[in-house]
Amino acid sequence: MTLPRALARANRVVTNRIATPVARYLPGTGVVEHRGRRSGRQYRTPVLLFTDGAQFRVALTYGTDTDWVRNVRAAGGAAMLTRGRRVPVSDPRIGADPRAGWAPWPVAAVLRLIGASSYLDCTARRAGADSPIT
């Protein structure tokens, strides 16, 4: 069980517009910058984002079938806006861990509570490719 689709729609209209400018600077959060696979339009989606060197992991609180996940997978990459930087990423891979053992314990507890066991892993395209967010 992940979060309901109705909540996702409400977040897209209201919460995401408020969270996006802040999420790209706070620890544990970030923004996925991606293009629509059919429209070609650029989107920015705030997410729970965790990094380990060149590896990026996004908690999929709405599951693996959301538009932004499908867009990133279809394109083979995106950009992560995190801690004031823009980092191009590639090689998107879906994984699952029902315990969310990779997340800090408070985040893992919430992910287990809502049944969000899936995540998206990506790799930074190359060292030094990140740039300040404009």
Q: What is the pLDDT of residues 64-104, one digit of tens each?
A: 999 999 999 999 999 999 999 999 999 999 999 999 999 99
pTM here is 0.84
In the chain, what are the domain boundaries?
A: 5-126
Distance in angstroms (rounded) separating the CA atoms of residues 105 and 109: 6
Residue 129 has pLDDT above 60, yes or no: no
Distance in angstroms (rounded) separating the CA atoms of residues 68 and 43: 8
118-124 vs 55-59, strand pairing mode: antiparallel
Cα 26 to the chain's mean position, in Å?
13
Least-confidence region, from 12-16, 30-34, 129-133: 129-133
Average pLDDT over residues 27-55: 94
Superfamily of domain 5-126: Electron Transport, Fmn-binding Protein; Chain A (2.30.110.10)
Residue 46 has pLDDT above 70, yes or no: yes
- The three-class DSSP label of residue 39 is coil
Q: Which range among 3-7, 8-12, 16-20, 106-110 has the greatest average pLDDT? A: 106-110
